[in-house]
């Protein structure tokens, strides 16, 4: 969700895609708050549709952020900025106690993944190319069930030892402890692999040059939203919750 490069050198396609995802995210959270906080009957807002919608948003954010890593001038600073926002979100959601506090949510995931990419890049180990991206996506899909104690694909899964989930100190990694809960949970694994897949493709596109259509892709309102995705992410939930509280009081 962070910016990379100056205004004049921005790639319009990334802002456009993020803008679409931000709009989708705001609508998703509006539906969530109306159903689970206000009590509005939204029977259609339920799994599996709800899960698919959520993943379409978060997976896009993480993949695009990974694509932009090779374009960033300072990924360490980006990671620190994300980390500061993630900490603030945890503090605010804990104190507000409107819903389950957010521990290791998607902004934390962005911070952790960006930090890992920065370290790999410094060591000359950052993934590059289509083949690396394909392998990383495969790993991401195979580890989708990791927080629930399984690995593999539907119909061919392997149960992991429950002892891996006995400690409360590995929830950040993707092994939630016995009493862990969060209103938004995106641990380092498996999402790091999706992020690095984006970085691998981003490095390839950067070396070969982006096509003109990617640079010029522009729908003014959506590109504006995409350029300010992090600010909107932080601000939208308090605004939606305030509006829902007003509706509930009528």
State if pTM tops 0.75: yes
Give me the residue label for tokens 């050198």. 9
Length of the chain equals 250
Residue 134 CA to chain centroid, in angstroms?
A: 19
Res. 4 pLDDT band, cuts 50 70 90: very low
Res. 8 pLDDT band, cuts 50 70 90: very low
Q: How far apart are CA 146 and CA 168, in angstroms?
A: 15
Q: Residue 37: is its pLDDT beyond 90?
A: no
Q: How far apart are CA 213 and CA 246, in angstroms?
A: 44
Res. 5 pLDDT band, cuts 50 70 90: very low
Provide φ and ψ at 159, rounded to 5°: -75, 135
What residues have CB less than 8 Å from 9, skipping those under 6 apart? none
pLDDT (tens digit, 9 = 90+) per residue, 39-73?
888 999 999 999 999 999 999 999 999 999 999 88
Q: Residue 1: is its pLDDT beyond 80?
A: no
Residue 238 has what pLDDT? 82
Helix axes 130-142, 188-208, angle to 10 degrees: 170
Q: Residue 99: is its pLDDT beyond 80?
A: no
How are the residues of the chain apportioned to helix, strand and coil, as percentages rounded to the nearest 5?
70, 5, 30
Mean pLDDT in the chain? 90
Residue 9 has what pLDDT? 58
Q: DSSP states of 141-181 as a string?
A: HHTTTGGGTEEEETTEEEEPPGGGGS-GGGTTTT---TT--
Q: How far apart are CA 105 and CA 143, in angstroms?
A: 18
ω into 60 cis (within 30 of 0): no
pLDDT (tens digit, 9 = 90+) per residue, 110-156?
999 999 999 999 999 999 999 999 999 999 999 999 999 999 988 88
Q: Is 74 exposed, middle or buried (0-12, 13-18, 19+ CB in 10 A)?
A: exposed
pLDDT (tens digit, 9 = 90+) per residue, 165-177?
999 999 999 999 9
- Beta-bridge partner residues of 159: 150
Res. 6 pLDDT band, cuts 50 70 90: very low
Query: How many distinct helices (H) and strands (E) make up the chain?
Result: 9, 2
């Amino acid at each position: 969700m962070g910016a990379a490069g100056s205004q004049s050198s921005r790639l319009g396609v990334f802002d456009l895609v993020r803008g679409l995802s931000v709009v989708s995210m705001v609508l998703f959270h509006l539906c969530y708050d109306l159903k689970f906080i206000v009590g509005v009957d939204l029977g259609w807002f339920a799994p599996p549709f709800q899960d698919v919608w959520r993943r379409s948003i978060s997976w896009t954010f993480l993949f695009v952020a990974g694509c932009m890593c090779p374009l960033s001038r300072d990924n360490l600073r980006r990671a620190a900025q994300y980390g500061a926002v993630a900490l603030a979100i945890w503090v605010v959601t804990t104190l507000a106690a409107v819903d389950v506090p957010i521990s290791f949510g998607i902004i934390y995931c962005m911070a952790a993944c960006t930090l890992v990419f920065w370290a790999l890049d410094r060591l000359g180990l950052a993934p590059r190319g289509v083949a690396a991206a394909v392998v990383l996506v495969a790993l991401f899909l195979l580890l989708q069930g990791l927080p629930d104690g399984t690995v593999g694909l539907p119909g061919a899964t392997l149960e992991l030892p429950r002892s891996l989930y006995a400690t409360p100190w590995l929830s950040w990694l993707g092994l939630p402890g016995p009493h862990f809960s969060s209103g938004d949970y995106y641990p380092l694994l498996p999402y790091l692999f999706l992020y690095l897949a984006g970085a691998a493709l981003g490095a390839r596109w950067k070396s070969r040059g982006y096509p003109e259509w990617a640079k010029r892709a522009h729908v003014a309102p959506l590109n504006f939203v995409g350029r300010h995705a992090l600010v909107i992410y932080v601000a939208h939930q308090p605004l939606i919750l305030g509006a829902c509280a007003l509706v509930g009081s009528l």
